[in-house]
Amino acid sequence: MSDLRTPLARARGLGSARDGLHHWWAQRLTAIALIPLVVWFAISLVMLSGADHAVVRAWIGSPLVMVLLILTIGVGLHHGQLGLRVVIEDYVHGDGRKLALIVAVRFVAVVFGLAAVVAILRIGFGG
Amino acid sequence: MSVANRPVHRPLSPHLQVYRPQLTSVLSILHRATGIALSVGALYLATWVIYAAASPKAYALFQGFNTSIVGRIVLGGWLFCAFYHLCNGIRHLFWDAGYGFELKDAYRSGWIVVAVSLIATAVSWVVGLRLV
């Protein structure tokens, strides 16, 4: 069977996204991590229905919740960013626009993630 | 123009418009749609803790939206997206491991995903609204 790839491309093994297996693997790892995290967070969110500011702050500030919430937001944003990248690669044509959007999505994810972590730590350590 | 410089016109995927909708394709599209919605939802979640860290007045503003009719629909919709994407994501992980590729199995797991995510959403709504 003939291979449409050049010998160099085959040797590099990076595929059409020029990224190899790394993206696929990261998406699966974050997916597995998010299974317990999302179940925990969804139950917590329902239980917090009608809670006021003080209750929410006390909840966020407890050590276990701080760890799980930082993980949920961090891993969730990373997983979302990986997924959006695939959507952009599929539907946005033209290398320039594609790259610009992928970079923009990553920047937004990092900024919101970092801001959320700072906010959680501020609540936990009484800032 | 040399061969190397000629623009390549390879077919671009996917061609959604040529397919008749069926459970498997609809669920696949829904997986992407809920994924996009949840990405926006993750930003909203980040905004929530940022507001919680700010003043009680700022949080009251944020909470005012959450407790409005629109806010409830957004949060309830977020829950459905989360449950659906979670269940269908597990279905995808089984496929990645090489299980459930028979057409019969793909349909059965698809209906299970639909049922579980709808039930989980309904239970969350009932419990959540009772606590309010």
Instruction: Kindly report the average pLDDT of chain A as a whole number.
Output: 92
Nearest CA in chain B to A34: B86
Residue A9 lies in a domain: no
Instruction: Kindly report the average pLDDT of chain B as a whole number.
Output: 90
Residue A75 lies in a domain: yes
CB contacts of A122 in chain B (<8 Å) are 53
Counted domains in chain A: 1
pLDDT band (50, 70, 90) for residue B4: low
- Compute the residue count for chain B: 132
Q: Return all residues near A112 (Cβ < 8 A) that are at least 6 apart.
A: A77, B42, B43, B46, B47
Domain holding A31: CATH number? 1.20.1300.10
pLDDT band (50, 70, 90) for residue B16: low
**Cα separations (Å) of B2 from A95, B5, B7, B9?**
21, 5, 10, 15
Whether the per-residue pLDDT at A90 is higher than 80: the answer is: yes
Residue A46 lies in a domain: yes
Give contacts of B 27-86 with A, CB under 8 A.
Answer: 32, 35-36, 38-39, 42-43, 45-47, 49-50, 52-54, 56, 59-60, 63, 75, 79, 82-83, 86
Residue A53 lies in a domain: yes
Minimum mean pLDDT range among A32-41, B16-25, B71-80: B16-25
**Cα separations (Å) of B8 from A3, A21, A79, B12?**
17, 25, 32, 11
Give the separation between CA A101 and CA A78, rounded to whole angstroms.
15
A57 CB near a chain B CB, below 8 Å? yes
Domain containing A100: what range? 22-124
Residue A11 lies in a domain: no
pLDDT band (50, 70, 90) for residue A111: very high
User: B25-75 pLDDT, tens per residue?
Assistant: 999 999 999 999 999 999 999 999 999 999 899 999 999 998 899 999 999
Provide the residue ranges of all domains of chain B, joining segments of one domain with +: 23-131
Q: Using the beta-carbon criterion (under 8 Å), do B46 and A83 form an inter-chain contact?
A: no
Q: Kindly indicate whether the domain formed by B23-131 is annotated with CATH number 1.10.760.10.
A: no
CA angle B90, B91, B95 (to 5 degrees): 115
* pLDDT at residue B119, as a whole number: 97
Q: Using the beta-carbon criterion (under 8 Å), do A87 and B13 form an inter-chain contact?
A: no
